[in-house]
Amino acid sequence: MMIPGLDLGILGPPFLAGVLVCITHIPLGRKVLDKGIIFIDLAVAQLAALGVIGASLTGAEITGLWAQLAAALSALIGSGWLHLCERWWPETQEALIGVTFVLAASASLLLLAHNPHGAEHMQDLLSGQILWVSYGQLWPIALLYAVVISLLYFGRAWGRWVFYICFALTVTASVQLVGVYLVFASLIAPALAVRKLSESKAIMTGYTVGFLGYGVGLICSAWMDLPTGPLIVWTLAIMAVIVAYGWKLIRLGTRSLCSEGNTMAVNKDQ
Amino acid sequence: MVHHNNWSYLTQWLGLSAVASLESKPGIPPSTADLSLILQRLREHPVKMVIHAAYQDDKPDQWLAEHAQVKTVTLPFTVGGSETATDLFSLFDDTVSRLLKGIE
């Protein structure tokens, strides 16, 4: 069956965007999961979105340098604040992250209250605009992500603030590319699926979950004629479940086969 | 090629033909299936430009401009839609001059 919309020219750039997002978000997501501060992603992503909205209200070109700096600054300040929360009030950290998220989300609504396209802007930043991505847009993001990945690997010894800076910069870029919901899903769903695997195995399996999630999501969105961003959130989660429990099922299956084989061998001996 | 079906009077007045609309369901952004149908249609019927109103999100138009190698033209749509369209006369002047620029 020929599915209209299944065209590499159309789905290629969004898939590449997804691959770039996965490459950075899966190692970051593992760290977030280790620390047990899951909602930090939602808070920082929402703060970056707030920065974008704030910059767009001043009339700045949204893809321009100033708007991007404003968004990064907003995410960095938020990230710094959450870092302080971690140091000063570790026992109420999760609650403070939650409050930060709600404040950022409400501030976006307040800023957009008098904007006739407010609801559209809000939805764009939540569910993303992955379909409109062009190859030209991906170069600067690939460059930024390369810097972030090397900082993550080589800057480990410099302390925890490296993680918070990497996190803020990555999320600022990806929130505008794929939206708040997909940022959260890309960080957490694959990381959750590979939680119990060793580091090197976990990263590769996590990438498989991510790439499959984005690929299947894009194809299904063309096939079912549904919005791409929210659908990928679902395929990412489904892939994560399949990979997390698929392994177990395969292992259980082979084990029962082996034990059956053993009993048969024993029976033969008798 | 138009973003949204809101140019009927303009196209009739100037004898333009709108080959396709970016929104297959008016007001709803195009899906991947829509986009591939539009690209196919544009291959069969090449167009001079993609027209969209100043108040609309131009991301789909930029996308189409890149994929189908056509120009996008932003029209003021109404008085106040652009810097120069300050009254009804300048609205028409500005609209026509933007369209002419698109043909160049």
pLDDT tens across A123-157, in order?
Answer: 888 888 888 888 888 898 999 999 988 888 887 77
- For the stretch A212-236, pLDDT in tens is 999 999 999 888 888 888 999 999 9
In angstroms, the Cα distances linking A49 to A21, A45, A118, A236 are 16, 6, 13, 22
Three-class SS of chain A: CCCCCCCHHHHHHHHHHHHHHHHHHHHHHHHHHHHCCCCHHHHHHHHHHHHHHHHHHCCCCCCCHHHHHHHHHHHHHHHHHHHHHHHHCHHHHHHHHHHHHHHHHHHHHHHCCCCCCHHHHHHHHHHCCHHHCCHHHHHHHHHHHHHHHHHHHHCHHHCCHHHHHHHHHHHHHHHHHHHHHHHHHHHHHHHHHCCCCCHHHHHHHHHHHHHHHHHHHHHHHHHHCCCHHHHHHHHHHHHHHHHHHHHHHHHHHHHHHHHHHHHHHHHHHC
Q: Render pLDDT for A29-47 as a digit per residue (tens, 0 to 9).
A: 888 888 877 888 889 888 9
A72, pLDDT greater than 60: yes
The token duo for A25 is 């978000």
> Are A226 and B31 in contact (CB < 8 Å)?
yes
Report the distance separating Cα A162 and Cα A152, nearest Å. 7
A170-202 pLDDT, tens per residue?
A: 988 888 888 889 999 999 999 998 888 888 888
Query: How many residues comprise chain B?
Result: 104
Q: Which positions in chain B touch A132 (Cβ < 8 Å)?
A: 59-60, 62-63
Report long-range pairs for B68-71 (Cβ below 8 Å, ≥24 apart): B68/B38, B68/B39, B68/B42, B70/B1, B70/B42, B70/B46, B71/B102
Chain A, residues 7-46, CB within 8 A of chain B, namely: 7, 9-11
Name the A residues in 182-201 with CB < 8 Å from any B CB: none
pLDDT band at A20 (very low <50, low <70, confident <90, very high): very high
CA of B49, closest CA in chain A: separation in Å?
19
Q: How far apart are alpha carbons B30 and A215 in whole angstroms?
A: 20
Kindly report the average pLDDT of chain A as a whole number: 84
Distance from CA of B9 to the nearest CA of A (A): 25
A214: nearest Cα among A193, A191, A240, A194:
A240
Instruction: Determine contact: A117 vs chain B, CB below 8 A.
Output: yes
**Tokens coding A80:** 């710094």
Residue closest to A212 by CA, chosen among A180, A171, A262, A246: A246
A5: nearest CB among B36, B55, B63: B36
| Optimal mutation site among B32, B39, B40, interface A, most CBs of chain A within 10 A | B32
Give the model's pLDDT for residue B67: 82
Q: Summarize the confidence of residues A205-217 as an average pLDDT.
A: 93
Give this complex's ipTM.
Answer: 0.71
Rounded mean pLDDT, A48-77: 80
- Tokens encoding A42: 């939602």
Residue B54 with chain A: CB contacts under 8 Å: none
Is the per-residue pLDDT at B30 higher than 50? yes
- Decide if B33 and A227 are in contact by the 8 Å CB cutoff: no
Supply the pLDDT for residue A263: 57
Antiparallel, parallel or unpaired: β B71-75 and B49-53: parallel
Q: What is the pLDDT of residue A18?
A: 94
Residues 6+ apart with CB under 8 A from B24: B30, B34, B37
Flag if A132 and B35 touch (Cβ within 8 Å).
no
Asked if residue B45 has pLDDT above 70, the reply is yes
pLDDT at A143: 92
Give pLDDT, residue A63: 65
Closest alpha carbon within chain A to B29: A227
Whether pLDDT at A245 is above 80: yes
pLDDT exceeds cutoff 50 at A1: no
Say whether pLDDT at A265 is over 70: no
Angstrom distance (rounded) from CA A189 to CA A237? 6
Token pair in block for residue A203: 């990263």
Which range is least confidently modeled, A53-62, B43-52, B88-97?
A53-62
Indicate the range of A23-27, A107-111, A249-253 predicted with least confidence. A249-253
Query: Closest Cα partner for A166 from A24, A22, A49?
Result: A24
Tokens matching residue A110? 């307040």
pLDDT of residue A214: 94
Contact call for A11 and B32, based on CB within 8 A: yes
Of residues B32, B39, B57, nearest to A131 (C-beta): B32
Q: Which amino acid is at B67?
A: H
- Listed in sequence order, the residues at least 6 apart from B33 whose beta carbon sits closer than 8 Å to its beta carbon are A3, A4, A5, A222, A225
**pTM (2 d.p.):** 0.80
Q: Are A51 and A70 in contact (CB under 8 A)?
A: yes
| Contact of B51 with B7, CB cutoff 8 Å | yes
Q: 3-state DSSP call for residue B50?
A: strand
Least confident of A1-10, A158-167, A215-224: A1-10
Report the chain B residue with the minimal C-alpha distance to residue A115. Answer: B55
Maximum average pLDDT range among A29-33, A65-69, A236-240, B74-78? A236-240
- For residue range B76-89, what is the model confidence (pLDDT) as tens digits? 888 877 878 788 88
